[in-house]
Structure 1
Amino acid sequence: MKYIIGFVFICTLLVFGSVYVSPEDFPYVGLLPFFIPVFYLLNLFLFFLLILSWKRTAFLPLIVLILGYRFVVITFQTHPIDENPEGLRVLTYNSHLFDYKTRTEGKFDPSVYTWLQEFPAEIKVFQEFYQDYTTPSRNSIKILGQDTDMEYSYQIIEGVAKRRSYGMAIFSKYPIINEGKIFDNNRANGAIFADIIYQSDTIRIYNVHLESMQINSETLENIDGVKENYRQTLGKLHRGSLARSNQLNLLEDHLSNSPHPVIIMGDFNELPYSNTYFRLSKNYVNAFEKAGNGFGFTYNRILFFLRIDHIFSSPSLKPIQFKTHREVDYSDHYPISATFEFSK
């Protein structure tokens, strides 16, 4: 038994430590963090089993549980809920081109625009943003920007500028004085920024959509699907983690040169147990950790237990409210919002 305990202890330390290793430096290391919850729960079980058996080896899983407390914090939170906080409220949403209902139910549902118009956020950012100048009901810039008196920055990834296109967008109630694109991969992923005047200061807003996992979740709905697709799935996870690491290098370089406090939000396609998440956490505050409740899952598909949409900020921007809007099911992602106090 003691050899099993020792083996689990060493394996757990390796899995925990994987979040500090870049996929660029060690092949397939990006897959190990997926096992962090499994190993944490396994050590919790072993700890209670050994305590009840009065075994001195209980100190090994106890060490792991203490070292892994950080993973508990990023997984589950409890904070007082303030439904109407005062401060700068932001929203990020992977909108799935605003046609998720069309693909799943066979008809376009315009109420997605109604909810987004009415939600009281001063800054709203969108990934997979669809724009159609030829169809009034799909003219997203007019509906979400011009009709609501919000300024906008729209960076096209693919399409014809004056007809139909998709890309990434930032909308703001406050003046936008600068904007730009950091990178894109000519498909759906990229990162853009906009400098916004807020309370006589300037805040830089980053809208991020890192490389997709490109996993067909429907193939994982049953055991047969898992058996047939696990090799392909592992390969996609590895290639995706490597691509996101390279994209994060570009983003971090841009962040290091920002002259203003920043809010970084979007679809990172990364679990909290990842090198990407931990790299950003070194210098920036995660809004869910400081003001969230529950698990904060953001994925609206069969893999419902994923939290892959995040909001980070400079330490001078204190999160006082965070919410995952699970009632909004117009996409394969749920929108998330946060409210900040600005400490000058």
Structure 2
Amino acid sequence: MRFLTWLLFLCTLLVFGSVFISPEDFPYVGLLPFLIPVAWLINFFLFIILTLSWRKLAFVPLAALLIGYRFAEITFQLNPKTDNPEGLQVLTYNAHLFNYKGRNGGKFDPNIFTWLQDHPADVKVFQEFYQNSTTPSRNAVKLLGEDSGLEVSYQIIEGKPKRNSYGLAIFSRYPIVNDGKVFEAQHTNGAIFADIKYNSDTVRIYNCHLESMKIDSESLDNIDGVKEKYRQTLGKLHRGSLERSKQLKVLEEHIANSPHPVIVMGDFNEIPYSNTYFRLSKTLKNAFETAGRGFGFTYNKILFFLRIDHIFTSQSLKAVDFKTHREVDYSDHYPVSATFQLENSSPESE
């Protein structure tokens, strides 16, 4: 028992430490963080068993739990609930081209635009944003921008402005004084920014869609699918984490050179136990950790336990509210919203 306990402790340290190693420096290290919840739970139950047995060996899994306390903190939160929070409200949503149900055998649901128009967020950012300029009921820029009284920064990845296109979009109730691309990748991935004039301050908004995990989640809903796809899935996870690490370097440099406080949000395709999450957490705060409740899962498919949509901010921005809108099932992601207050700004000045 002693040998197995210490072996588990060493393996746990290895798994915990993997978040501090870039996938670019060590092949397949990006896969180890997926084992962190398993390692934490095994140590928790082992601690209970050894404690009930009155074994001094219980201090070994206890030490592992204390070392890994940070992982419990980023997994589950019980922050106080805030009613009618005041401040700068933002929303991020991977919209799946506004046609998730249609692409999965159903019909296009126009209620997606109604919900997004009605949501009171001052800033709304979208990944996998689809624009159909020729069909009024699908003209997302007009419906979510002009008709809602919001300014728009829309960066096209593929398509033509006057026809059909898709890319990344930022909508703002406050004036957009500057915008541009951070990087652009194939398909729908990339990152853009927009500087908004918020009262007497300027805040830089980043909309990010990092490289996809490329997991065929539908094939993983049964044992046969898992057996058939596991090697292929591991390879895709590795290549995805490697590409996201490269993209993160570009994003980190851009953020470091920002002359304004930043809000960095979007679909990062990274779980909280990842090198990407911990690198961003070195200088930025995560809104879920500050104001979230529960687990905050954001994925709307068979792998429902994933939280891969995040909102990070500069230290000068305080999150007073955070919500994952699990009631909104128009995409394979749930919308995520948060409300912030600037330390040198007060709600009365808005």
Tell me how far apart the structure 1 counterparts of residues 331 and 36 of structure 2 sit (CA, whole Å): 28
Please give the residue correspondences for 1:105-254 in structure 2 after superposition, counting only pairs within 5 Å: 105-254=105-254
Tell me how far apart the structure 2 counterparts of residues 285 and 141 of structure 1 sit (CA, whole Å): 30
**Residue of structure 2 in register with 1:28 after alignment:** 28
TM superposition shift of 1:53: 1.2
Tell me how far apart the structure 2 counterparts of residues 74 and 235 of structure 1 sit (CA, whole Å): 26
Residue 97, structure 1, aligned to residue 97, structure 2: yes
TM superposition shift of 1:54: 1.5
| SS of match in other structure, 1:100 | coil
| SS of match in other structure, 2:277 | helix
CA RMSD of aligned residues (A): 0.6
TM superposition shift of 1:11: 0.1
TM superposition shift of 1:106: 2.2
**Residue of structure 1 in register with 2:46 after alignment:** 46
**Residue of structure 2 in register with 1:314 after alignment:** 314
Q: What's the CA shift string for 1:80-100, capped at 9, x where partnerless?
A: 212410000000000000001
Tell me how far apart the structure 2 counterparts of residues 105 and 329 of structure 1 sit (CA, whole Å): 15
Q: What's the CA shift string for 1:124-145, capped at 9, x where partnerless?
A: 0000000011111110000000
Tell me how far apart the structure 2 counterparts of residues 106 and 316 of structure 1 sit (CA, whole Å): 44
Matched AA of 2:48: F
TM superposition shift of 1:10: 0.2
Tell me how far apart the structure 2 counterparts of residues 103 and 166 of structure 1 sit (CA, whole Å): 15
**Which one is further off, 49-58 or 281-290?**
49-58
Tell me how far apart the structure 2 counterparts of residues 85 and 104 of structure 1 sit (CA, whole Å): 37
**Residue of structure 1 in register with 2:55 after alignment:** 55
Matched AA of 2:134: T
TM superposition shift of 1:281: 0.4
Tell me how far apart the structure 2 counterparts of residues 341 and 88 of structure 1 sit (CA, whole Å): 6
**Residue of structure 2 in register with 1:264 after alignment:** 264
Tell me how far apart the structure 1 counterparts of residues 255 and 41 of structure 2 sit (CA, whole Å): 36
TM superposition shift of 1:326: 0.3
Matched AA of 1:166: Y
**Residue of structure 2 in register with 1:289 after alignment:** 289
Tell me how far apart the structure 2 counterparts of residues 245 and 339 of structure 1 sit (CA, whole Å): 28
Tell me how far apart the structure 1 counterparts of residues 200 and 130 of structure 2 sit (CA, whole Å): 32
| SS of match in other structure, 1:208 | strand
TM superposition shift of 1:104: 2.6
TM superposition shift of 1:327: 0.4
TM superposition shift of 1:277: 0.1
Gaps spanning 5+ residues in structure 2: where? 345-350
Tell me how far apart the structure 1 counterparts of residues 15 and 190 of structure 2 sit (CA, whole Å): 29
**Residue of structure 2 in register with 1:73 after alignment:** 73
Q: What's the CA shift string for 1:112-157, capped at 9, x where partnerless?
A: 0000000000000000000011111110000000001100000000
Tell me how far apart the structure 1 counterparts of residues 103 and 236 of structure 2 sit (CA, whole Å): 24
**Residue of structure 2 in register with 1:326 after alignment:** 326
Matched AA of 1:320: V
| SS of match in other structure, 1:339 | strand
TM superposition shift of 1:340: 0.3
Tell me how far apart the structure 2 counterparts of residues 70 and 255 of structure 1 sit (CA, whole Å): 24
**Residue of structure 2 in register with 1:274 after alignment:** 274
**Residue of structure 1 in register with 2:348 after alignment:** none
Matched AA of 2:314: S
Identity among equivalent pairs (%): 70
| SS of match in other structure, 1:302 | coil
Q: What's the CA shift string for 1:31-89, capped at 9, x where partnerless?
A: 00000000000000111111111111111101001011100110000112124100000
Tell me how far apart the structure 1 counterparts of residues 330 and 16 of structure 2 sit (CA, whole Å): 35
| SS of match in other structure, 2:208 | strand
Matched AA of 1:255: I
Q: What is the TM-score with the length of structure 1 in the denominator?
A: 0.99
Q: What is the TM-score with the length of structure 2 in the denominator?
A: 0.97
| SS of match in other structure, 2:59 | helix
Tell me how far apart the structure 2 counterparts of residues 55 and 81 of structure 1 sit (CA, whole Å): 40
Runs of 4+ aligned residues of structure 1 deviating over 6 Å after TM superposition are none
Matched AA of 2:320: I
Tell me how far apart the structure 2 counterparts of residues 106 and 12 of structure 1 sit (CA, whole Å): 45
Q: Would you say how many aligned residue pairs link Structure 1 and Structure 2?
A: 344
Tell me how far apart the structure 1 counterparts of residues 34 and 106 of structure 2 sit (CA, whole Å): 34
TM superposition shift of 1:105: 4.3
Q: What's the CA shift string for 1:171-217, capped at 9, x where partnerless?
A: 00000010000111121100000000001110000000000001110
Matched AA of 1:273: Y
Gaps spanning 5+ residues in structure 1: where? none
Residue 82, structure 1, aligned to residue 82, structure 2: yes
Matched AA of 1:111: N
